[in-house]
Structure 1
Amino acid sequence: MKNNTATINPIQSGSGNLFTRNTAFLAALSGLLLFLSFPRYGSGWLAWIAFIPLFFALKKPVTMTQGLVLGFITGMVSYVGIIYWIAFVIINYGFLPLYLGIILMLLLACYLSFYIALFAGCIVYLREKMPLYLTAPVLWICFEYGKSYLLTGFPWENLGYSQYLNTYLLQFADIAGVFGLSFLIVLFNAALFEMINKRTKREYAIGCMVVFVLAGVYIYGIYRLDQVNQAVQNSEGMEVSLIQGNIDQSLKWNEDYQRETLNIYEQLSLKNSPANGSLIVWPETAAPFLFQDRNILHDQIVNLSLKTKSWLLFGSVSHARENGGNDFFNSAYLLSPAGVVKGKYDKVHLVPYGEYVPFRDIFPFVKKLTAGIGDFGTGPGFYPLSLDHKKIGILICYEGILPFAARRYKQQSTDLLVNITNDAWFGATSAPFQHFSMSVFRAVETRLYLVRAANTGISGIIDPGGRIIAKTNIFQKNALKGYIKFVNIPTFYAQYGDILAMICFGLIIFYFLMNLKWRVGNANR
């Protein structure tokens, strides 16, 4: 006799498991689309549809726990694709075994995925009384802001950065920063999903309203860019030369190679020397020795500024001996055309496990894993250096992805942003392209020219409208010569910062209180 009892697939059982194959696939698809929204392998337009598969997965009658798991799947797929290069750095320059490099990268991806898991879980919790187009963008900004600042912060490739080539929409960053673009992307995804899913007049009306909002932002971009163009035309400027030495990271700190390194930078600088009184920029730690110690290498750099009759900005490690201590700093020096040190900036925001080791004294295993890594000292603050009557704000490496650093410079009437970095650590991965793309936003947020000198690329010149005027390729010995303007355009974002994030935190508190009130009311009936 044939048994007609249905066989239950444990993977598809809603009661015994957290998700079905279909919902897991949809969550993973969203992760893939998010990964492909960023350089080097993707395109920014994919971000505008990236959340729709996840929203369909969350549409099922899933619990909050199931929503957390689905969000975590989305996060893991996207972040493994975005930060896979961390394993490359750990293995090649941390000298750890392959398996450990992959494990550490996956641990960071798990931590970052936690925020997307919370995003999805909260959507499930609020969905009964709050429409998706109201909750999703607000939730996303709250968690993205948390990711950017908690535990020293990791704002690497926040969602809005995917739009660095979307010139007109990008202009909105001078009002709301990168979070403003993130908000618009999630809002569009939510509205489009509701239109596809429900297909009612109300959803179509909401969709039209969102399109009108985006059209308004686009029109603002056209108008604002015209203002920027006029300001640039009426401003004074100067020539700059950005020197990309392309020094192999494995040789960079070899004492036998110091003179050759310096000769490479000197020759490129002389060959591409700008007009007298202009600016030459070398990358982070381009001088692989202690410049402050007077020796033949020190004199060679001083003589170069005399030969070119130009200002010279370059990176070097420095040290300060006070009260018996010995602190080292990741620094930038500014030499005048007369060969005089006119300023020194010490990096403020250090890279965890690259320039300092958090939790070294709390967890013994951290000390073992990071043997050989020293702690750099922290600079006093983001204070601009004076170039005659102009001010330049220095952003060393990772600081180029920090909006608050550029804002502080703008608030001190800085005239030019200079980002110096050494991206040789990243190899030919997607990281150098991602790193460069984020610096575009600093120019728009402050409406200043930004010049970027990178040891192995990407070096570039970005105008106050976020347009990439010129850039180099990676792993090429090169120099970029161009002309920048000293523009003075006030911006709402530079003055007030991430007000949008504060509004979103207020809204999310209101949403949860309203939802809690509704649930309590239902329980008492």
Structure 2
Amino acid sequence: MSRIRSLSEFVIALISGLLLACSFPLPGLSLLAWVALVPMILIMARRPFVTGFVAGVGFFAFSLYWLNIVMVTYGRLHPLLSLVAYLLLVLYLALYFGLASWLSCRLSSRLGYPYAMTLPLIWVALEYLRGIVLTGFPWNLLGYSQVENLAMIQSADLVGVYGVSGLIVLSNAVIAAILNWFGHRERRFGQVRYVLLLLILVVANLVYGTWRLGGQSDAGKPIKLAVAQGNIDQTAKWDIANQVHTVETYLRLSKRAAAEGADLAIWPESATPFYLQDISPPQTAVVKFVQNAGISLLTGSPAYEQHGADFRYFNSAYMISPRGRLADRSDKVHLVPFGEYVPFSRFFPFIDKLVYGIGDFSAGEIAPLDYDGKKVGVLVCYEAIFPELARAYSKAGSQLLVNITNDAWFGRSSAPYQHLVMAQVRAVENRRWLARAANTGVSALIAPDGRVVEQSKLFEEAVMTGPVFMRDQLTLYARFGDIFPLFFLVVSLVWIWQSRLRK
């Protein structure tokens, strides 16, 4: 009987994680997030860590399945090694779910606090740490599940995506408490305050969100942007023989945009697969186009700096002025571990032999690009998943955010859509227009309220043009950053210390 019970609890926890994964693209059933953790919470008291850990395995295994596509198809890793790496990452990420469950139960039993009080705080604190520890991987934070409900994410300009995550966890904990209260009439009155708290916060969030959606306006003269999506085959992208075709594709798309009156054309990450700083036939073709069209061009390109006999390489974005001058350069700040560099390469010199195409890039610094006296903050590739980077660009004076990326690695999976919703939240957090240029999609023009004004399809050539506005005002979140999760982290640490005193 005990084994059957343990197995049933295992299945329930796994289902809880799978339901939560379904609230993210794809399929993106956002309402599921508000109840998906309820089964896990109802059973976690008996085996807290295991229950949370199993739910985490279900969530990350389902929502990050596309990692195998990246490692096998493009990293050319053996399928067996890819599976091992994928499972290790899933098990690592599931630890955060396990810790949240275990700590919540521990604090509830030792300090007498209900789950509705402990779980949201601990969950948010651990989500925040997940974005920092081991270079950070804040992919699919709970708050991102609500992007389809624009009113629910507008408060991100106050408390960031972590605030939305906390509200979702509170909902799950309160619903679980309501189900537990049946048959325990004496407990109901004392716990009803958490139901009221949830209702107040949800209503306040919706009222604020509705107000923000209806009250935003842009001032000044708009800039007509053109976002080009070349749909260049990833397997041939870095082939020298393919450089002419790549450049011709982007020039053809951009000439169409220039004819429609575009002021600034944006090409994706590494759209020019050569050193733009060096004169060459494809470089000359790009410069001549800009001069003839009389527009500015922001494009991704590799770059290098020479210091004596040493070279440093960067994943960069250039701003080319209408005169054809390389006016400014911004380098990627947060590099992809085991993709653009090998962490602790002195200790693991063999890793770059296991995976094809690992780079040896150096990290840059926050440096907005100058565009006609205005500032543009460029997030390269998965930098868009880090809230602190977009915030840093806003604080550095960026009036427009741009995300250039190459999501061809993800294939026709849910990853490009998951990546897109994170960029949408960056727009809301900073109240900036955000232009997203992706080699194979999804490219988009995103309004400051997170609304996608225009969006491309996957693996198709496309060029999108539309007006955007420069914005100067800093949001509360842009000014003060992640004080919300930091406060929750401090409170959690204080509770843990108190619980140790009450053994």
TM-score tier (shorter): over 0.9
CA contact (8 A) 2:303 2:315 kept: yes
Partner of 2:27: 41
Distance 1:47 1:323 in 2: 54
Partner of 1:196: 179
Residue 88 of structure 2 aligns to a residue whose secondary structure is helix
Quote how far apart the aligned CAs of 1:338 are: 1.3
Partner of 2:270: 285
Query: 109, 112, 115: which one pairs with 2:90?
Result: 109
Partner of 1:11: 3
Aligned partner letter, 2:347: I
Q: Does 1:51 align with 2:32?
A: no
Residue 366 of structure 2 aligns to a residue whose secondary structure is coil
Quote how far apart the aligned CAs of 1:367 are: 4.7
Residue 44 of structure 2 aligns to a residue whose secondary structure is helix
Quote how far apart the aligned CAs of 1:257 are: 1.0
Q: Does 1:83 align with 2:83?
A: no
Query: 383, 386, 407: which one pairs with 1:399?
Result: 383
Quote how far apart the aligned CAs of 1:511 are: 2.1
Query: 312, 319, 326: which one pairs with 1:327?
Result: 312
Partner of 1:312: 297
Equivalent residue pairs, number: 496
Quote how far apart the aligned CAs of 1:360 are: 2.4
Aligned partner letter, 2:3: I
CA contact (8 A) 1:320 1:326 kept: yes
Quote how far apart the aligned CAs of 1:477 are: 0.6
CA contact (8 A) 2:226 2:262 kept: no
CA contact (8 A) 1:426 1:432 kept: yes
Quote how far apart the aligned CAs of 1:176 are: 0.5
Q: Does 1:409 align with 2:397?
A: no
Task: Map 1:19-418; keep pairs closer than 5 Å.
Answer: 20-59=6-45, 62=46, 66-128=47-109, 129-199=112-182, 200-228=188-216, 230=217, 232=218, 234-273=219-258, 278-363=263-348, 365-370=350-355, 373-379=358-364, 381-418=365-402
Residue 251 of structure 1 aligns to a residue whose secondary structure is coil
Pair 1:393–1:274, CA change in 2 (3 A): farther
Query: 460, 468, 490: which one pairs with 1:484?
Result: 468
CA contact (8 A) 2:76 2:355 kept: no
Comparing 365-374 and 282-291, the one that deviates more:
365-374
Pair 1:76–1:290, CA change in 2 (3 A): same
Quote how far apart the aligned CAs of 1:254 are: 1.0
Residue 132 of structure 2 aligns to a residue whose secondary structure is helix
Partner of 1:4: none
CA contact (8 A) 1:447 1:488 kept: no
CA contact (8 A) 1:274 1:310 kept: no
RMSD: 1.6
Partner of 1:515: 499
Quote how far apart the aligned CAs of 1:484 are: 0.5
Pair 1:302–1:472, CA change in 2 (3 A): same
Overall identity of the aligned pairs, in % = 38
CA contact (8 A) 1:276 1:309 kept: no
CA contact (8 A) 1:243 1:280 kept: yes
Residue 249 of structure 1 aligns to a residue whose secondary structure is coil
Partner of 1:467: 451
Q: Does 1:420 align with 2:407?
A: no
Q: Which has the higher contact order (CA 8 A, sep 6+)?
A: 2
Aligned partner letter, 2:480: Y
Q: Unaligned stretches of 5+ in structure 2?
A: 183-187
Partner of 1:6: none
Quote how far apart the aligned CAs of 1:182 are: 0.4
> Structure 2 length normalisation: TM-score?
0.95
Larger of the two Rg values belongs to structure: 1
Distance 1:311 1:448 in 2: 20
CA contact (8 A) 1:330 1:376 kept: yes
Quote how far apart the aligned CAs of 1:359 are: 2.6
Distance 1:267 1:364 in 2: 43
CA contact (8 A) 1:283 1:314 kept: yes
Distance 1:394 1:443 in 2: 13
Deviations 1:360-401 (A, max 9, x none): 22135535424652311111x111111112111111001111
Partner of 1:522: none
Distance 1:412 1:514 in 2: 40
Distance 1:368 1:420 in 2: 28
Q: Unaligned stretches of 5+ in structure 1?
A: 1-8, 13-18, 520-525
